[in-house]
Amino acid sequence: MILRNPLKLLFYLCLLIVIFLVGYKVYLNLFMKDFKGLHTEQVERIQRNIDPESPISFAVLGNINNSIGIFEERIVPELNASGIDFMVSAGNAVSGGGEDKYRALYGSLGHLDIPYLLTFGAHEYEDFGSFRFYDHFGPHFFSILAGNSRLIFLDSTGKTPWQWQIRWLNDLLAKDSSKARILFIGHPPMEPEADAPFDQRSDYLQPREFRSALMREIKRHGIDLVFSANLSL
């Protein structure tokens, strides 16, 4: 009897956890508001609010990781009060690719008064998150004109073949007449001069051929700025 009661209690505890998790998944999929193609709406807001010949002001955040205490409660109010045109996540806006993580991010982004754009990063990709990112936000790599600047977003996760992206980038910039070119890619194409603590080879843009090809195109096409996340510095 001494042994059976704790086991019985453990069984009911596990059963309760399973019921809670299943119920939470049902709640997410059936009762929470669905959202699709958010980048379309955000791009329209950006281009509607910024004159085509005007310079732009924007904030870049990396590794938001579904933060409530820092991002939602402290950074979002500052962004709303700053007077900037929009915000960009350079990658890892979610802490994982699960549906609950994407919906939590959607709730946090809903507190922003300004438009936003997300880079498809490592955390957005994991746990089958690439399908959710495409459904909720849009393509994994894309480009827009914001004022007189060209914003380019690339996929560094391996989901999209890098050769295809380099060809697309060349075709895009060969016809581009913007006054500034800004690139966002989740994995850094360069390593920092000072050693990053606990960094791994996989934290940087892979494979090496992609990294080399991208650096050539950055120089060839005069890309002015490159923003990445994926490192905790």
Q: How confident is the model at residue 49 (pLDDT cuts 50, 70, 90)?
A: very high
Instruction: Tell me what pLDDT residue 45 has.
Output: 97
Pairing relation of β-strands 116-118 and 142-146?
unpaired
Name beta bridge partners: 152.
Answer: 143, 183
How far, in Å, are 187, 190, 201 from residue 194 at the CA level? 17, 12, 15
Q: Given this model, what pLDDT does residue 121 score?
A: 98
Instruction: Considering only CA atoms, give the Rg of the chain.
Output: 21
CB 127 within 8 A of CB 100: no
Is the peptide bond preceding residue 207 cis, with omega within 30 degrees of 0?
Answer: yes
Give the residue among 115, 105, 24, 111 at the shortest CA–CA distance from 65: 105
pLDDT in tens, 202-224: 999 999 999 999 999 999 999 99
230's tokens: 């994926």
pLDDT single digits (tens) 89-115: 999 999 999 999 999 999 999 999 999
For the chain, percent of residues with pLDDT exceeding 70: 91
Instruction: Walk me through the domains of the chain, giving residue ranges and CATH numbers.
Output: 35-192+199-227 (3.60.21.10)
pTM comes to: 0.87
Q: What is the pLDDT of residues 119-177, one digit of tens each?
A: 999 999 999 999 999 999 999 999 999 999 999 999 999 999 999 999 999 999 999 99
> Quick one: three-class SS letters along 184-196?
EECCCCCCCCCCC
Which of these, 140, 148, 182, 130, lies nearest to 39 by C-alpha position? Answer: 140
pLDDT at 24 over 80: no
